[in-house]
Chains A and B, each alone.
Chain A
């Protein structure tokens, strides 16, 4: 019988087990947050920031106009009626703009929804600043009631010149079951 502690390989084993455990942790503590950071920075998937934009733009660029399209989609099993008040707007970079989305809950019971934004082209995401958005929070709605949900945004003056149309899409998810629980990530 081999005595394990006398085994010269034990050092190697300890190192390798450490590597394996570290790689397991790496997935959770590095890959997941890093992905979010990269998405924010590079606009992968057209994710926009989940926080209100507070910086001030250096005036309105009157020389340029950008077409903004609004799209609303319901995810599987979401019975709400959900649509933008206007499907299209033409805005100047640097200017503050406002629009609303309509939502109504046809079900008898109260529900909670979460809207997930996505911008196309994805590289426009980092230039799409929302100063106020219903997507920052979960949106509760009583049974058989409706609401107007506001959105305020500024298109950055540094938006690349070759982008002339930006589509902002919201997908509405039913999060009634998870509401209340703090979003785990």
Chain B
């Protein structure tokens, strides 16, 4: 029954093939990465010098809001869903995802959702300008009319995420090849399985929050307004009940990627596989009981502050276990430093720094000074960009040869890494300084003592942004005219079922399940 893809546009519109859908997710997320990046460039250009130069404060707020929303929901999350689509069936020896038609839907409702979100820029009153955390009542009573479209697009992309994660769970639980027990699954599959459970649990909470906003805006309820007996702070509790697990939704698949790549270029099995799985589960569990650490200054009772502080500090333990495991994997390996490995080492260094600042931020008394300052901005960009985006970039370089059967330009890849790494640090390292010195986040203009570091930050941002064009060029050049790869394994240290199929990966793989050596450890 093996047949190739349909021809023309209908191949992409109606496809139920996990590889096609994965490809679409990846390209879509890259487009969103460029769009969100463009917003960031506008922000950094305005902040290049003190004083208002390019945009008005109201538009600046729209930019920070859309930058956050597009990067979190449009770039990072869909990119990892794309990766999951491509890799999970191949890694567990399944012919496709469990629900191929739903898979098609969960992708195709995404572009209209983001088109709608982007279109708010051209609406009366402008796009949402209340930050990606959209705290009420700024996002309800005081929002521009476009908030209704914002709510609807959040609903749609939430639905897409839920469908995508149901599909991933159903695939992992039902479609594993015989002999592929849970504790033999590659760590990427494990981290995604846990991520998918988080998504199913918390995306409906986000949907609930925006539904309440919709009702407050249009139907006269007062969930978030004190006037009718509600409470604006309730919004923050609901939002962060979603929002904190969301942070791990973003980072756990990145952990998975790094856990695949570091062993490959260390030519040594992953150290502490079991503890990696347990640590991932522990992080997922803890993510549900730490949400209010985003709200230390909101006026919580001291007992609440202490509970959330202790619980948050505990997250350092499983996260530390992961970092130690990766480093021990490298220890006494035979290391080589191709582009994916460079990005993983970059991830290790910078994510650890982000973890340290995370630990600092978890300390409630100190957070009274850190909260809502640029220190926080620096922290979460170390985790989101150097964590999620670096590992995603590593993943593309690592698996691209398998996907398209051609090798990328290694020199350009390494150059991309170094420019990214240095550009990233010039951008975000000084933000620790200005934050500690007292610069609040989300301001379009700042006082003179912050000028030097902000200029540095902007220069770094332009460097980092430009380096992504090199990435795009390298990927396209590889697909169009890369040097063909004939080896199924591509990388000599790579392990796992996806490396056992032909290169490039055929349109259909594992239509008959592979046999898995029961003695062979996990891959």
Which residues of A pack against B, CB within 8 Å? 2, 7-9, 12-13, 16-17, 19-24, 26-28, 31-32, 35, 39, 42-45, 47, 50, 75, 114, 116, 122-123, 171, 173-175, 177-178, 181, 183-185
A-B contact count (CB 8 A): 118
Instruction: Chain A residues near B364: list those with CB within 8 A.
Output: none
Contacts of B201 in A (CB 8 A): 19, 23
Chain B interface main SS type: helix
- How many B residues touch A, CB cutoff 8 Å? 44
A116 & B226 in contact (Cβ 8 Å cutoff): yes
Q: How far is it, in angstroms, between the C-alpha of A60 and the C-alpha of B149 when the chains are bound? A: 58
Whether A183 contacts B169 in the complex (CB less than 8 A), given A8-B174, A35-B234, comes out as no
Q: Which residues of B contact A (CB under 8 A)?
A: 98-101, 162, 165-166, 169-171, 173-175, 200-205, 207-209, 212, 220-223, 225-231, 233-234, 237-238, 241, 299-301, 303-304
Which residues from B are CB-within-8-Å of A184?
Answer: 220-222, 228
Minimal Cβ-Cβ distance residue in A for B172? A12
* 23 intermolecular pairs with C-beta atoms under 8 Å apart: A2-B101, A9-B171, A12-B166, A16-B170, A19-B200, A20-B200, A20-B204, A24-B205, A27-B212, A28-B212, A31-B237, A31-B238, A39-B231, A44-B299, A75-B226, A75-B227, A122-B299, A173-B226, A175-B227, A178-B220, A178-B227, A183-B229, A185-B222
> A28 vs B205: C-alpha distance in the bound complex, in angstroms?
9
> B238 CB to closest chain A CB, in angstroms?
6
A12 close to B204 (CB less than 8 A) = no
A122 to B231, CA, bound (A): 15
**In the complex, what residue of chain B is closest to A172 when comparing beta carbons?**
B227
Q: Using Cβ atoms and an 8 Å threshold, which residues of chain A touch B241?
A: 31
Shortest distance in angstroms between A182's beta carbon and chain B's nearest beta carbon? 10
**B residues in contact with A47, CB < 8 Å:** 231
Inter-chain contact A9/B208, CB cutoff 8 Å:
no
Rounded to whole Å, the gap between the CB of B68 and the closest CB of chain A is 22
Closest 9 CB pairs of A and B: A27-B208, A173-B227, A9-B170, A24-B204, A9-B98, A23-B204, A184-B221, A9-B174, A12-B170
**Which chain B residue shows the least CB distance to A178?**
B220
A181: B residues at CB distance < 8 A: 220
Q: Which residues of B contact A13 (CB under 8 A)?
A: 98-99, 166, 170
Shortest distance from the beta carbon of A1 to any chain B beta carbon, whole Å: 9
**Cα distance A171–B230 when bound, in Å?**
13
Known: A16-B200, A39-B231. A7 touches B99 (CB 8 A): yes
Query: Does the CB pair A42–B222 fall under 8 Å?
Result: no
- Which B residues are CB-close (under 8 A) to A26? 204-205, 208
Which residue of B173, B205, B228 is within 8 Å of A178 (Cβ)?
A: B228
Q: Which of A7, A23, A45, A177 contacts B233 (CB 8 A)?
A: A45
- Name the B residues within 8 Å of A27 (CB-CB): 204-205, 208-209, 212, 238
Taking CB atoms, residues of chain A closer than 8 Å to B304 are 42, 44
A12–B169 contact, CB under 8 A? yes
Bound-state CA distance A118–B402 (Å) is 62
Complex Cα distance, B5 from A143, in Å, reads: 74
List residues of chain B with CB within 8 A of the CB of A7: 98-99
CB A9 to nearest CB in B, in angstroms, measures 4
Name the residue on A nearest B166 (C-beta). A16
Instruction: Return the contact of B234 from the options A2, A22, A32, A174 (Cβ within 8 A).
Output: A32
Closest Cβ of chain B to A163, distance in Å, is 13
> Bound complex: CA of A28 vs CA of B229, how far in Å?
15
CB pair B226–A123 under 8 Å, yes or no, is no
**Nearest CB of chain A from residue B406's CB, rounded to whole Å:** 32
- The answer to whether B231 touches A183 (Cβ under 8 A) is no
Inter-chain pairs besides A27-B205, A75-B227, 20 sampled, C-beta below 8 Å: A2-B101, A9-B174, A20-B203, A23-B200, A23-B201, A23-B202, A24-B207, A24-B208, A26-B205, A31-B237, A35-B237, A42-B304, A44-B299, A44-B304, A45-B231, A47-B231, A171-B226, A173-B225, A181-B220, A184-B220
